Amino acid sequence: MNDFKLKGIFRFRPRYSETDQMGVVYYGNYATYFEVGRVELLRELGMSYAEMEKAGTMLPVVHLSTDFKAGAKYDEELTLETSILELPTRKISFYHELINKEGKTLVTGTVVLVFVDTKTFKPKQCPEDFKQLLVKASLGQ
């Protein structure tokens, strides 16, 4: 499905506690921002992580990559765009782009998670109901 694409938008301002001595967001906090983007995108689509876990599926991170172009600053207005560009199989990939108020891309990242059974902790296929939710949402975007 080459035309598959879902995108969520999350706007926020970095808190003082998330910055280093220079007033720039500490690099380790971008992984947390990416998590917020993923959780909020799934929530917008009608599925929360909590519901997925209750139904027997966990999503541990197996890959994280981040490219830093410029540092985000304390209290700066930011937009985090989180996208899913392909239907999941045993894995699901999220693509993140952090943009400032002027439209400049500050940070990009990719996070890959694997569908895992909550009882056996073994990888499994993407739950069919979740896949159908993604397909339906992609047709509406």
The catalytic residue positions are: 20
What does the longest C-alpha to C-alpha distance in the chain come to?
47
Phi and psi for 70 in degrees, rounded to 5?
Answer: -160, 150
Which residues on neighbouring strands pair with residue 68, listed in sequence order? 107
What's the token pair of residue 28?
């380790």
Candidates 77, 60, 84, 67; CA nearest to 7 is 84
Query: Exposed/middle/buried for 30, CB within 10 Å: 0-12, 13-18, 19+?
Result: buried
Q: What gap in Å lies between CA 8 and CA 39, rounded to an integer?
A: 10
* Contacts with 120 (C-beta within 8 Å, 6 or more apart), sequence order: none
